Structure 1
């Protein structure tokens, strides 16, 4: 008890504590309603908040609201249950419904009578106390009790408390007590503590055994307010705006000072929770939302007077835990502790001389403040005009001077006030120098890094086109170079090795580097303070491939600004007490590296179980995610309880399966998610990789998902379609062959009959015999002609079928299907007219009884050949605008147009074929013009002679289809004319003139 009492007596003297930053969340930025009536943390690391519009799960990144329960009342109160066994319960107002939070998900469950907090017992109202908030009200006409795991404390009598053990035995404890004293009670380690503010005594009751502490402490101070929550087993003591957390075992309690928060009385706080893992204090209010205090071990020392200039570039360590700035202010981590009369001086530089005196530049002079006078006495030495700076490195001193012709660097072996031992002129601006060896220095300038051997005039450039800011040596004797906007470098073996920058390139303007006891580097920059394991930088220097992971600290961690300052000489220091100090644009930042934690996700608390498909509500899945084939985009959320700066999360994802991708970084935003879109059907694995420690260790977690295919994307469908197409082609070929065999047989019978008739005709025997021989010759070649004419469309269909089988592209497959359909349809129409081919040669009537439309023939033939032409990149155009009618034998005209157009298609690639009809009073002219290979003048002469020579009546055209020989024969048959012309620049124009009379 003496130790306990002494501890609290000492607490009255503890006025310093952690700094903090405050962030408010309300209905405008995350909460569904601006009340946070209770706060609890589940076993998975998520924080749950009870509001009057549902329950909220907070993971440090986003708030997920649950208010779609099938209940009429969404106004929830305090939490009960046991988070350690994954069972958190909460009731809504009037105790109508019960919600249980289990496995990170809340659901409606059956309400038992034992779950209620308020109930009637006879004429008495009984109320269970599960927490003691700052604004609790307790009344004398209500019976209160506290339910522990196996026992109960009842407050039913004045000046007495009744303890009932697990066997039902009651023990009455008599102490000065009434219900109004319930504001000053709390439970810790299953022990009831009762504080009497009037007598300044504290009573503890452990399983019915009473212990009295009579010493005044913070527990029984009249200025103290107590917040206790049973489910979290946390008790907070609030005294004069100081917030403490109760800790300890049994009766031996202690208080951990958390923060001095002057606004604790300014809001209607009704809930509190301290997250030890991330050093955060959560304060919930009834009407202003949730206030999150990030407690910090960074301290900012600055002048607090109005209009003070707190921009510092340089300082000097003074004593074990303080520094002196150029204006004479001596700072400790809690502010100014002494003020020397240094007056107004330049911001930099300043240093100690060999006697411990402080030297500060003031324009073209150096002011010396003497140590033995406690820096009260001073003198000033004029140097010369153009004096810029002075620097000390190792055993050497240096000074720089600027002039119209450049910069001059003076090196001194004794002190700055003697004659320089070495003088080096430079055209660029000299920023700093560093004693690398006894007689060698490294010199930094605005255009690069140089090496100088003292006593020699040669200046050797080491690295050009960088603006050197600082050359420094860490305690491990490694030399580092920082630059303006070019990053920082390791100087090793007379070479500079550039270090990788951070993800946002803030380290492009690194200032200074300090090494702590854990072999980590702390690097100040223009945008934040960075920590990185030294071994990662050295490994990168060896192979240029090892990853480097920087941890960034910002204003959210306790600074007043993210912008630190740099200088040409050391401006950050490791003090004797182990603290580091860096100058910033708003004061000096003090901290002890061992007290500053870096936060990484727990490898066992990474959850991938939520998805949002399109504009639908968020869904939960377990195991495998199934996506319908009509999905457009699906957001898969990565849930993890991480309550620190998201910028320090290193999360990458990749897809493997039917399609694969490389690791992609997930940007840190309000939500951590991976969006699935434009993936083809199939099974996939989404892998998530996350950095979980500063040494570069990753934890990987995977989830499977599959995208259902459309019916036409399945392999079975493709096989079936291919089989059907092959069967159709085989049937077409078989039917065509059978048809031609029958026709051939019929033709042979006709020939036989004709021969019989010719024998009976004696007068015209020779003429008839000659005619029959010609007819027989044409009929024999007809089968070969028709077979050859259908070869082109059938071969085209076969080629498209093969491409369809080999292609996976949906749009291309659709195109092939459409081409096969159109070509097959036109081939079918062509076969229907095969009978007409057999009548061409024996037809005697070259004039039809009824007129027909010539345009229709052109359109039919265009459709037959358009897909074949399209495959060759050729466009067939029907330019006949007006309807033209004719009585010339339609079958013969059709055969003529078919063969001429066939020849045009075969000989035209990436061109155009134009069909046209013109008529006058006596004739109709059909024109087929192509831009293909064309006919030579010699060929045109041959075919025109064939047309004009009446003796060439039975040509041989085997292997050419009907060919131009057949066309010419048919032209003669219908007493028409044909002309061949060159189509400049390439191609042929065929004109067929039909006589109307």
Structure 2
């Protein structure tokens, strides 16, 4: 017998079991199907699960299902292969297809005959044994074998095992064995172990050499169940709900206790894997999903009796490894050790006096339990009404009292508590005090921190507007101020330095702080227990630009609640054994700081290779991602195999390139991702860094990506467009130059022409000047004539009015009235003509926009003069041939006809006046013909001469009538012609000729 085979005699030493937390995953929260038939971990740190609906990769954060293989059968079985060689293979049911997991991605690969696990060799059924699950069934009519790298074990016949080495040499081992005993075997490296549960023996075969141990052990215990998986080289021993893992220490295997799990027999467990990197045990079932047991070195001691109050505040260290509470319960990490008869007391404050007696507050009294009586005897001291708390610091005892309007702090040097040595009054409630030096104390109140010099009745505020809960001195003699909802502070140089908060704000209500011997502080809070490097906090106190990284422990790490409790007196302790104790809302938490692990990502196992663009399927890329210009959002997925509390994962990312950003945290949710959106086209670099140690070290990864530009955003387009614009500019310049040359030549000609025109214009201006002078003279003479013509009628009317006033003869008066009426009528008509003439003289438009009928003017004027002519025995006849239209200014033409007709009426007695119209293609002729006294030949010649000679000096209008002179002037204005002729036998014919436009 080999000497190492004697290890079974001292194999198992019973130890207290680890605590654990259990998390189930199934179809409802990540798995594609509620079976986990095999579990393995690849070389990159990812957990792979074989299910009845594909393969699943788990990174501790999210599940990724791979079931889009081009196969009809997605029912997969056990894993085989070499994880460390990045080669894990799995077959589907009936061994139709083979999947290989390589580089973190499973792919369909070529299937060879040698890959089969079950096959026939002649008439013999062959089956390869690659694992030994709890519910394995083996049959004697099947030939089983175990395939190693260079050798194999075959189980052909009963009581016979054949070992074949790499050269094909066989060694036959004969032992009491049948195929049904295969459920009790396991492999450790190259050694086969066979357990005989009936005879309590264990056989070991190494390269064909056999050893046997006849000592009983857990390996060959009748109640033991064995789980072995070849690909992971892990073997689990399950005995009475306790789970052990087989370890290889040198040449001898040993058992490491993992956990006592009472539900191990309650489910159809078919796969197991222990991840020592994160201290987790993975259990897979056939129909209930996937269970993760997170093993914990935190121990929670509580009362197990029904209706027990496990809300813990005050306690005291009692022995090397126990504490005692206000009701006399002594706790160790595994539960209650002893119960002392303390009775019911206030559970907020406890302390030892100098003799080791325990002091506890009960309402307005202090109860003292005497150490020399084994804490069975007690006495009581009544303090007074309003007694809230008693405190101890240094060599001083203190009471806080309140009547809700005034608050007092009593300080005592002795333990009799009769007459206080010092009394201090405060407006706010006193929570705690701390003896800072021999003569100075610090007082923590509900509104701030104060300093008091003993012997002086002066209270000096140090920091206001914070609610101080406790003042703590750690082993390094630093003083910490714990507050309610304001975080915690370091007292440095008599000033408070606020410490940074954790990323979720849980340390705003920090309770207590303990320092371990490994350079870390442990801080309890209302939401978790925090571990932080002491060095980082002290560096932050010196320079607030430095970073502080907290590590948070929660219920997932083994607590029963995340809420811890605090007190004005110390209520968290380091026991003599080095064990820490913190009170919580559900029991006391015990732990050894040395055994509590912190988990950080492996710097070599951070991968950025997946992206999800919009709502499309996930795509894989290798260091470079090309995004089209029509993308909306792109999620860059960050894969980190991290199987601990996500609060302790610190991923950050930033963008550099055409647009840049600073480091920003990546949310840790169902998946780690950095979302790209609203970036302009260009080349970018995404940098991702992850905290990989408590010292603040980061591992940085980067991936480059490009957002493709639109066609008009490309460099080629910009260059082409620039060349096009340059050519356009050149063409424009050339055309402009040619145009300017032509323009210059034309300008020279224009200048020459202008010179000629200017000469002609100067001549014309001279003529215009003369005409203006004549026009001015015309206007002057016109005014003189109007004044002369108006003066005579007005003087005549005035004379008739005087005679009318002096005469009494009615007939004569009637005659005067008739004369005045006619004179006034004539004067009125004159003034109307005057107003119309002055307006016409200033008119600029000599043509209308729309045509009108000339006969309309003739008819209006006929009606106007009809009655006047009738008084003179004259009739006016309007005989137009047909309706004739013109665009000549209607007002001007009306004034012309009015004056000519007025003259005809004035000079015609007992006769007739004819108005007529004729036209041809070029002209329209208006004829006014009367039978009156008519114009003399001299008058006709004079007016025709005035019309035909525009440069003729205008004669004076005095005494010669206004009408015809104005008519001639208006005829010229409308570019018409006028002609005066004798009417035989008497009268005058006036013809006005209008040109058609």
Structure 2 length normalisation: TM-score? 0.75
The correspondence of residues 97-136 of structure 1 with structure 2, limited to 5 A, is: 97-136=97-136
Q: Tell me how far apart the structure 2 counterparts of residues 440 and 4 of structure 1 sit (CA, whole Å).
A: 69
> Corresponding residue for 1:292?
292
> Corresponding residue for 1:855?
none
Q: Tell me how far apart the structure 2 counterparts of residues 5 and 974 of structure 1 sit (CA, whole Å).
A: 145
Deviations 1:435-459 (A, max 9, x none): 1111111111111111111111111
1:11 partnered with 2:31: no
Q: CA deviation at 1:754?
A: 13
1:597 partnered with 2:597: yes
Secondary structure of the residue aligned to 1:608 is: strand
1:30 partnered with 2:12: no
Q: CA deviation at 1:769?
A: 8.6
Shift of the 753–3 alpha-carbon distance from structure 1 to 2, 3 Å rule, reads closer
> Corresponding residue for 2:179?
179
Q: Tell me how far apart the structure 1 counterparts of residues 739 and 684 of structure 2 sit (CA, whole Å).
A: 53
Q: Is the 8 A contact 1:312 1:587 kept in 2?
A: yes
1:567 partnered with 2:567: yes
Q: Tell me how far apart the structure 1 counterparts of residues 228 and 630 of structure 2 sit (CA, whole Å).
A: 53
The correspondence of residues 2-401 of structure 1 with structure 2, limited to 5 A, is: 11=12, 13-14=14-15, 16-249=16-249, 252-401=252-401
> Corresponding residue for 2:819?
none
Secondary structure of the residue aligned to 2:400 is: strand
> Corresponding residue for 2:832?
none
The correspondence of residues 585-624 of structure 1 with structure 2, limited to 5 A, is: 585-624=585-624
Query: Rg: which structure is higher?
Result: 2
Q: Tell me how far apart the structure 1 counterparts of residues 761 and 260 of structure 2 sit (CA, whole Å).
A: 130
Q: Tell me how far apart the structure 2 counterparts of residues 642 and 36 of structure 1 sit (CA, whole Å).
A: 20
Q: Is the 8 A contact 1:8 1:218 kept in 2?
A: no
Q: Tell me how far apart the structure 1 counterparts of residues 747 and 554 of structure 2 sit (CA, whole Å).
A: 99
Q: Tell me how far apart the structure 2 counterparts of residues 493 and 749 of structure 1 sit (CA, whole Å).
A: 97
Shift of the 416–638 alpha-carbon distance from structure 1 to 2, 3 Å rule, reads farther
Deviations 1:127-146 (A, max 9, x none): 00000000111011100000
Q: CA deviation at 1:717?
A: 2.0
Deviations 1:208-245 (A, max 9, x none): 11111111111111111000000000000000000000
Q: Tell me how far apart the structure 2 counterparts of residues 410 and 384 of structure 1 sit (CA, whole Å).
A: 12
Deviates more, 1:550-559 or 1:161-170: 161-170
> Corresponding residue for 1:713?
713
Q: Is the 8 A contact 1:369 1:375 kept in 2?
A: yes
1:540 partnered with 2:540: yes
The correspondence of residues 860-875 of structure 1 with structure 2, limited to 5 A, is: none
The correspondence of residues 971-982 of structure 1 with structure 2, limited to 5 A, is: none
Shift of the 712–90 alpha-carbon distance from structure 1 to 2, 3 Å rule, reads same
Q: Tell me how far apart the structure 2 counterparts of residues 766 and 636 of structure 1 sit (CA, whole Å).
A: 86
Q: Is the 8 A contact 1:300 1:588 kept in 2?
A: yes
Q: CA deviation at 1:716?
A: 3.3
Deviations 1:119-160 (A, max 9, x none): 101101000000000011101110000011111111111111
Shift of the 545–253 alpha-carbon distance from structure 1 to 2, 3 Å rule, reads same
Q: Tell me how far apart the structure 2 counterparts of residues 379 and 77 of structure 1 sit (CA, whole Å).
A: 72
> Corresponding residue for 1:444?
444
Q: CA deviation at 1:105?
A: 1.3
Q: Tell me how far apart the structure 2 counterparts of residues 70 and 724 of structure 1 sit (CA, whole Å).
A: 53
Q: Tell me how far apart the structure 1 counterparts of residues 470 and 522 of structure 2 sit (CA, whole Å).
A: 15
The correspondence of residues 785-800 of structure 1 with structure 2, limited to 5 A, is: none
Deviations 1:309-349 (A, max 9, x none): 00011100011100001111110001111011111111121
> Corresponding residue for 1:859?
none
Q: Is the 8 A contact 2:5 2:212 kept in 1?
A: no
Secondary structure of the residue aligned to 1:475 is: coil
> Corresponding residue for 2:495?
495
Q: Tell me how far apart the structure 1 counterparts of residues 752 and 108 of structure 2 sit (CA, whole Å).
A: 96
Shift of the 749–457 alpha-carbon distance from structure 1 to 2, 3 Å rule, reads closer
Q: CA deviation at 1:165?
A: 1.4
> Corresponding residue for 1:884?
none
> Corresponding residue for 1:675?
675
Q: Tell me how far apart the structure 2 counterparts of residues 317 and 745 of structure 1 sit (CA, whole Å).
A: 114
Secondary structure of the residue aligned to 1:461 is: strand
Q: CA deviation at 1:720?
A: 2.9
Shift of the 746–411 alpha-carbon distance from structure 1 to 2, 3 Å rule, reads closer
Q: Is the 8 A contact 1:269 1:286 kept in 2?
A: yes
Deviations 1:396-435 (A, max 9, x none): 1111111143211111112153421111111110000111
Q: Tell me how far apart the structure 2 counterparts of residues 151 and 723 of structure 1 sit (CA, whole Å).
A: 75
Q: Tell me how far apart the structure 2 counterparts of residues 357 and 609 of structure 1 sit (CA, whole Å).
A: 65
Q: CA deviation at 1:770?
A: 5.7
Q: Is the 8 A contact 2:561 2:584 kept in 1?
A: yes
Q: Tell me how far apart the structure 2 counterparts of residues 642 and 460 of structure 1 sit (CA, whole Å).
A: 51
CA RMSD of aligned residues (A): 2.9
Q: Is the 8 A contact 1:189 1:250 kept in 2?
A: no
Deviations 1:630-674 (A, max 9, x none): 222111111111110111011110111111110010011111111
1:687 partnered with 2:673: no
Q: CA deviation at 1:623?
A: 2.5
The correspondence of residues 415-494 of structure 1 with structure 2, limited to 5 A, is: 415-494=415-494
Q: Is the 8 A contact 1:4 1:253 kept in 2?
A: no
Task: Structure 1: give runs of 5+ residues left out of the alignment.
Answer: 759-764, 775-844, 850-886, 889-972, 976-995
Q: Is the 8 A contact 1:321 1:332 kept in 2?
A: yes
Q: Tell me how far apart the structure 2 counterparts of residues 251 and 572 of structure 1 sit (CA, whole Å).
A: 45
Deviations 1:680-717 (A, max 9, x none): 11111111111110011111111111111111012332
> Corresponding residue for 2:408?
408
> Corresponding residue for 2:829?
none
Q: Tell me how far apart the structure 2 counterparts of residues 520 and 552 of structure 1 sit (CA, whole Å).
A: 13
Q: Tell me how far apart the structure 2 counterparts of residues 348 and 767 of structure 1 sit (CA, whole Å).
A: 118
Q: CA deviation at 1:747?
A: 9.8
The correspondence of residues 810-889 of structure 1 with structure 2, limited to 5 A, is: none
Shift of the 747–606 alpha-carbon distance from structure 1 to 2, 3 Å rule, reads closer
Q: CA deviation at 1:724?
A: 3.0
Shift of the 412–974 alpha-carbon distance from structure 1 to 2, 3 Å rule, reads farther
> Corresponding residue for 2:634?
634
Q: Tell me how far apart the structure 1 counterparts of residues 249 and 431 of structure 2 sit (CA, whole Å).
A: 59
Q: CA deviation at 1:739?
A: 6.3
Secondary structure of the residue aligned to 2:163 is: strand
Q: Tell me how far apart the structure 2 counterparts of residues 755 and 259 of structure 1 sit (CA, whole Å).
A: 118
The correspondence of residues 731-810 of structure 1 with structure 2, limited to 5 A, is: 731=731, 735=735
Q: CA deviation at 1:479?
A: 0.7
Shift of the 565–766 alpha-carbon distance from structure 1 to 2, 3 Å rule, reads closer
Q: Tell me how far apart the structure 1 counterparts of residues 384 and 309 of structure 2 sit (CA, whole Å).
A: 29
Q: Tell me how far apart the structure 1 counterparts of residues 397 and 233 of structure 2 sit (CA, whole Å).
A: 62
Shift of the 691–974 alpha-carbon distance from structure 1 to 2, 3 Å rule, reads farther
Number of paired residues? 779
> Corresponding residue for 2:521?
521
Q: CA deviation at 1:71?
A: 1.2
Q: CA deviation at 1:728?
A: 3.8
Deviations 1:874-930 (A, max 9, x none): xxxxxxxxxxxxx99xxxxxxxxxxxxxxxxxxxxxxxxxxxxxxxxxxxxxxxxxx
Secondary structure of the residue aligned to 1:541 is: helix
Q: CA deviation at 1:519?
A: 1.3
Q: CA deviation at 1:189?
A: 2.3
> Corresponding residue for 1:812?
none
Secondary structure of the residue aligned to 1:11 is: coil
Deviations 1:710-754 (A, max 9, x none): 110123323433443454455456557756876887899999999
The correspondence of residues 950-989 of structure 1 with structure 2, limited to 5 A, is: none
> Corresponding residue for 2:821?
none
Q: CA deviation at 1:168?
A: 1.1
Q: CA deviation at 1:487?
A: 0.5
Q: Tell me how far apart the structure 1 counterparts of residues 187 and 233 of structure 2 sit (CA, whole Å).
A: 8
Q: Is the 8 A contact 1:50 1:78 kept in 2?
A: yes
Q: Is the 8 A contact 2:9 2:215 kept in 1?
A: no
Secondary structure of the residue aligned to 2:546 is: coil
Deviates more, 1:170-179 or 1:122-131: 170-179
Q: Is the 8 A contact 1:25 1:290 kept in 2?
A: yes
Q: CA deviation at 1:755?
A: 13
